[in-house]
Structure 1
């Protein structure tokens, strides 16, 4: 994953989370920060930080709602659309075709396993886990 992140950063000048956020912005018309955060599966404060960086680079525009000033709408700029069009896919077509070729039961099993792993990676307490890494669970690197 680290090699992929470095390659994506080298090719686009963006981090994978920034590309995920740009994709989320693209998927909504005048996306709110809450929508982007939910779709990108990134915390709202981190989403705001990413949006600020993307705005500084001219990839998005943000404007406050005229109805509720607490709501900020985000849209891709033409530059942002171009960068996103040139960005490598984060998930390759082979993954989608492989999943499509699987039975519904196998797909469900893989999705359950992904959810289990994601749950295991969540910290036990706010602010992080014990910091012992993979060896904590008896796993070796």
Structure 2
């Protein structure tokens, strides 16, 4: 018997009931670490978006999509795009075009494909738009980078 600890985008994580029973006495009342993000800048919004994907906080990530972007998708379709993603790692962001609120970023995903973990690397831009006091994801131009060399991870 197990406990489903997370079930989003087609991936479920289970912990055995015995493990929970054995560990229960060690659980404390201490504060749980919280994720703080700041979408008040274009760069902050892009970082927040991928941080939410990493933490599997899909609703918060979905809420950072612009009204124009949401005309092309809904929550179920959008979350299904991430069903095989185990992890997201941001390597860096920088403003590409301040006038048009375009942010350049590099990131990777760890995906579960046919019973094996695969790493994928990406680089590109997100154009953001200010809506309701926060910047939201408007349009992306992100491409997969095949076999990046070591310098790719350090140069933003």
TM-score (norm 1): 0.31
From the two aligned structures, give the one with the greater strand fraction: 2
From the two aligned structures, give the one with the greater helix fraction: 1
TM-score (norm 2): 0.29
